[in-house]
Structure 1
Amino acid sequence: MKRNLNNKIEMLANFFYRALLLKLTPAKMKQEVLDEIQIASEETEIIEDANQIIDHYQEFKTILVGMLATNWKWERIPALIQALLIIGVYAIKMTDASKALVINEIVVLTKTLEPDFEFGFVNAILDKINKI
C-alpha cells in the first residue's frame, strides 16, 4: 500500500510528537518504531522514513535551531510543531517529494492540528530550509 504524502506526514508527526513528549532517546525511538509503526508489512516505507529521521534527528534539529530568530528558543516551540518541522527538514533534504507540496502539507497540518499556532512561522522556516 503506497501512502500519500499527507498520510505519511501525519503518521510520522503522530509518532514523533509522542516521542518528543516522552523525551525518548534515539535508541528508544528506534524501539518504538519497531513496536508501534511496524503494524503491517505495507508500512515499510514509513518505518524507513522514521528510521532515517531518527538517524539524522540531531542534524535536523541543529539546522532548525540555526533558522530561528534570536528571540526564539527551540524549547519554546510546541512539541507537535517541532515534530512537523523535523519531518519537513527530512522531506525537503532527503526525499524526492515536491518541496512545495511538502511545505504545503505541513502548513495545512499545522493549521489543522495546532490552530492557535502561527502557521506562517512554520511556512517561513521550511521555506528557509528549502533555500539552503
Structure 2
Amino acid sequence: MAKEKSVKGGARSSARLAAVQALYQIEASDTPSPIVIKEFVDHRLGELIDDDQFAKADEAFFIDLVSGVDSRSEEIDELITSNLTDSWSLERIESVARAVLRSGVYEILARPDVPTNVIINEYVDVTKAFFDDSTPAFVNGILDKIAKLTRE
C-alpha cells in the first residue's frame, strides 16, 4: 500500500475519502460504526491533524455512506464476492480496497441521484490515493460490473 496522497474534488469527494477511512477503522478496530462516525464528525472532517488539513466534507453524505454500508453490509459483501473471479475471495482483498469497494457498491445501490460514471471515477480516485499498483483498475472493474448488474 502506498502512502496516502491527496484526492481532488469537493465536499462529496472528501466525504468519500473520509468514509473509506472510517470503514477501514471500523473493520480494523472492530469499533461500532456510530462511534467512528461521531469521531470523524467531531474531530476529523475539516480539521487540522498532525499538520495535515482534512478537507471540508459533506457531513450528511459521509454519514449516509458509512451508516449505509454498515446497515447493508451482507448484501454489499455478497455482491462484491459474486463478482470476483474464482481465485479471489473478499478476505483476500486488501482491507483499504475492501472499504473502497463497500462504499462504492453502497453508493451504486442507494444513491440513484449520483451518476454511475461519477461514482466509479470517484472511487478509482480514492483508490489511487492509497495504491500505486493495479488496485485502482481492479476497483474500477468490480464497480463497473456491479453497476451494470444493478443499474441497467
**2:33 — aligned with what?**
29
1-structure distance, mates of 2:134, 2:27: 18
Q: C-alpha displacement at 1:44, in angstroms?
A: 3.4
Deviations 1:62-117 (A, max 9, x none): 11011100000111111100000000001111012111011011111212212234
Percent pairwise identity: 27
Name 1:77's counterpart in structure 2. Answer: 93
Q: 1:6 to 1:43 in 2, by over 3 A?
A: closer
Distance 2:146 2:99 in 1: 15
**What is the match of residue 69 of structure 2?**
53
Normalised by the length of structure 2, the TM-score is: 0.74
1:119–1:49 CA distance, 2 compared to 1 (3 A)? closer
Q: Distance in 1 between matches of 2:139 and 2:105?
A: 11
Question: If the length of structure 1 is used for normalisation, what is the TM-score?
Answer: 0.84
User: Does structure 2 conserve the Cα–Cα contact (< 8 Å) formed by 1:103 and 1:127?
Assistant: yes
Partners of 2:143 and 2:59 in 1: CA distance: 26
Show structure 2 runs of 5+ residues with no match.
Answer: 1-9, 46-57
Match of 2:103 in 1: 87
* Counterparts of residues 1-132 of structure 1 (less than 5 Å): 4-22=11-29, 24=30, 28-34=32-38, 36-39=39-42, 43-95=59-111, 96-132=113-149
After TM superposition, what 4+ stretches of structure 1 lie above 4 angstroms from structure 2?
none
Q: What is the RMSD of the two structures over their aligned residues, measured on CA atoms?
A: 1.9
- The CA distance in 2 between the partners of 1:101 and 1:4, in whole Å, is 14
Give distance in 2, aligned partners of 1:88 and 1:45: 13
Gaps (5+ residues) in structure 1?
A: none
